[in-house]
Structure 1
Amino acid sequence: MGTVTSPKQDRSRATRQKLLQAAVSCLAEYGWSGSTVAVVAERAGVSRGAAQHHFPTREDLFTAAVEHMAEERSTALRELVGGEGVRTTHDIVSAIVGLYTGPLFRAALQLWVAASNEPSLAPTVIALEARIGRESHRMAVELLGADESRPGVRETVQGFLDMARGLGLANLLTDDSTRRNGIVAHWSHLIEDALSAP
């Protein structure tokens, strides 16, 4: 039997969810300096007091928001892993690269820059990014069916993730989709060759 929640708990959970989603979109749109608790609360349609009830500090709010979106990203990857039908290497590479060109990556990048200048924020962001990095690597290995006991396979997967992050950076200032599509196709062949080599 599942846990029964009260209407008050449901409202509280919904408010928290709105705040997390608003925080990510504000961080991606306005950067760290323009994303105050007040701005996020307004975007979420809740009072500043309600925002501070859920997240006592600005750092709490933004690290929770990026963590929340990272969990959503992991869920999407898990659905891709467990989905019906055969997925090509190109589909997998394209899906993973897509994660680095969306609002989550923009928000995470703003948080990294803020953490490099805010000593109180750095330990939390470093730990969060390490966990997200491990999860992304594990999911890529699973999706690609990579055997990391073979020499060079782990490095190939990690190189691919680093390349995907680089494509996300290139996409920040201009739409880089045409060049990105060519690189995704090329990397798909490289990965297939590396994973199937004897």
Structure 2
Amino acid sequence: AEKIDWRARRGAATREQILDAAVRTLVKRGYSDLTTTTIAKTAGVSRGAMLHHFPAKDVLIREMVRYLFDRRMAAFEKMVATVSRDGNRVAESLKTYWQQVNHPYFIAFFELTVAARTDKMLHAMLAPCQDALDARGLELAQALFPQVARERLTIGLALSQAVVEYLALQHMRRAPNALDDRLIAHLSHHIRAFYGLDAHFNERRP
């Protein structure tokens, strides 16, 4: 039994090693150059080991989508858990999300999203994941801002996501600069006003 358990743990570790290599390859080379040969080389595993865990590229892509989805969802959950309940929750949430979208997981997810425009199979994989992320994001926002109407939260989230993710995409062609932080601060101010939160007081739960 111990031998079987050891093999299972080793197999799981190799599988995660390959998925991590797939994400790194995607970020570095883009979707068009995402080949099983390149991924195996990046992961430092043999072609046979690669095929053992992922017998076809579409199987690997499907698992990578799930891998990225799980980690982005975990990041959402962690963000809400770490945001102060007695401070400026809008500013803290935006700052944390700003850090998330500059992470390789977001860049990889974005690369897949762009590729999905002309890849029906990939689109079918990504669409439910994005819907689940959006739905969970709204639920978590309601937990952070229970005093704000659902419709306003939906609009505020969409606006925040559009601005923050746009700025993150700009980092793919230029270095970060001071204007980024100023825009995030400006966005925070307007979202607070839109939510009806008094800037002079803490956003305590009612």
TM range (shorter): 0.7 to 0.9
Aligned counterpart, 1:186: 186
Q: In the aligned structure 1, how far is the partner of 2:58 from the partner of 2:131?
A: 17
Aligned to 1:130: 131
Q: Name 2:73's counterpart in structure 1.
A: 74
1:1-198 to structure 2, matched below 5 A, reads 6-83=5-82, 85-86=84-85, 88=88, 89-142=90-143, 144-147=144-147, 149=149, 151-197=151-197
TM-score if structure 1 supplies the norm length? Answer: 0.84
Alignment TM-score, normalising by the size of structure 2: 0.81
> Unpaired runs of 5+ in structure 2?
199-206
The answer to whether the Cα contact below 8 Å between 2:18 and 2:43 also exists between their aligned partners in 1 is yes
Deviation at 1:117, TM superposition (A): 2.3
Shift in CA distance, 179/52, structure 1 to aligned 2, threshold 3 Å: farther
- Equivalent pairs counted in the alignment come to 193
- Contact kept in structure 1, 2:31 and 2:115, CA below 8 Å: yes
- Aligned-pair Cα RMSD in Å: 2.4
Q: What per-residue deviation string (whole Å, max 9, x for no partner) do you get for residues 47-87 of structure 1?
A: 22222222232233233223323322322332332238545
1: distance between equivalents of 2:138 and 2:75? 14
Amino acid of the residue matched to residue 195 of structure 2? L
Letter in 2 for 1:106: I
Query: How many Å separate the matches in 1 of 2:95 and 2:112?
Result: 25
On the 8 A contact 1:20/1:68 being kept in 2, the answer is yes
Structure 1 segments of 4 or more deviating over 4 A? 84-87
Q: Which has the larger radius of gyration?
A: 2
Secondary structure of 1:74's counterpart equals: helix
Moved more, 155-164 or 26-35: 155-164
> Sequence identity, in percent?
24
- Stretch deviating more after TM superposition (97-106 or 75-84): 75-84
CA distance in 1, matches of 2:148, 2:62: 31
